[in-house]
Homo-oligomer: A and B are copies of this chain.
Amino acid sequence: MSTQPDEFALIAELFAPLAASYPGALGLTDDAALLEVPDGQQLVVTVDAMVAGVHFLPDDPPDLVARKLIRVNLSDLAAKGAVPFAVLLAASFPTDVSMAWLTTFAAGLKQDVESYAIALIGGDTVSTPGPLTLSLTAFGRVEAGRALLRRHAQVGDRLWVSGTIGDGALGLLAAQGGLLDLSAEHRDALADRYRLPRPRSLLGPRLVGVARAAMDVSDGLVQDLGHLCRASGVGAVVEADKVPLSAAARAVVAADQSRLATVLTGGDDYELLFTAPREGTDLLLTLARETDTSLTEIGCITAGTGVTVLDRDGQAVLLPRQGWRHFRGEPA
């Protein structure tokens, strides 16, 4: 292969092996892919775009960029209770991209395609004079009529999150060379969470029939919860000191209380936020053990509208912003 990559050689050498497990991908040599959906199941589809310098750092390792691209989409599927099975990639590569970069990028795709037992079933690779721009469409399956939707929250539901909140946003600061008062170990742990989300692909499908409403937390807990409330026509109360923090995030907030706002409103968590009736609590705690996932009750769904965050004294916490607005590329 020449050092100047060629579209068709690139697809055949780097990407076609990722399609081998899925016959409907047609070896990535046709205009489209064919998908089967078993009787009684529904297809769940989502797309996310990522731009170098906006959604990841331009010098992030290419394999991690590829894996983040897959994982942010799998997080959306997990939030709907869907089991992922396929992805389509549209990639606009800068004209000076090297074969070394592309090879490492494809290796990252391969790693996660295998980890999550999915296939790359098609795509489009083009050239851009601008920054690397990627979009991935992800396909999952869920029993028909059973997907977890944002609109299903009910007044009185308890509010839960998986894992820990705030690591992604703090990780971006760490990856950019900030948070220098923190130990190197904590900085590395946070930066890793920013660069490599952990979609809750095992937990999500297990929440079907247990959770009522669900979504993934990607633009900041408070803002995302606001979207869930609007979709359901309800309000929510979050008890700030119940929001689960990692050891590194606890260290950040202990050193500077104002960072609590970053935790509650920063993006890139890729945890699941969901509601469940109070009588579902025991089942959820069992699920947490079986999937080796921490699940934490952080508040409840109320009548009314909007999200209220309370401190340990029951006082409303005022937040300078609610979350991340992708389109403006700035905090909202």
Chain A residues at the B interface, C-beta cutoff of 8 Å? 4-8, 10, 24, 26, 29-37, 39, 42-51, 53-55, 76-77, 79-80, 82, 88-93, 95, 121-131, 133, 135, 137, 139-140, 142, 144, 147, 149-151, 215-216, 227, 230-231, 325-329, 332
Q: With a CB–CB cut-off of 8 A, which chain B residues contact A49?
A: 90-92, 124-126, 135
CB-CB under 8 A from A227, the residues of chain B are 29
Tell me if A124 and B45 are in contact (CB < 8 A). no
Chain B residue with Cβ nearest A329: B127
A327 near B46 with CB under 8 A, answer no
Specify which chain B residues have a CB less than 8 angstroms from the CB of A123 in the assembled complex.
47
A124 to B135, CA, bound (A): 9
A327 contact set on B, CB distance < 8 A:
5-7, 10, 93, 125-127
User: Residues of B contacting A332 with CB < 8 Å?
Assistant: 6
Contacts A/B (CB < 8 Å), 5 sampled? A26-B150, A32-B76, A32-B147, A51-B133, A90-B90
* Nearest CB on B from A283, distance (A): 23
Q: Which residues of B contact A30 (CB under 8 A)?
A: 80, 149-151, 215, 231
A36 touches which of B42, B90, B126 (Cβ 8 Å): B42
Known: A5-B327, A30-B151, A43-B43. 12 other contacts (CB 8 A): A7-B328, A32-B44, A32-B77, A47-B89, A47-B90, A49-B90, A51-B126, A51-B128, A54-B128, A125-B327, A127-B327, A129-B131
Contact check, B34 vs A43: say whether CB atoms are below 8 A apart: yes
Q: Among B34, B121, B325, which residue has its beta carbon within 8 angstroms of that of A147?
A: B34
Chain A to chain B: the 8 pairs with minimum beta-carbon distance, closest first = A130-B130, A7-B327, A90-B135, A127-B329, A32-B46, A35-B43, A49-B90, A31-B76
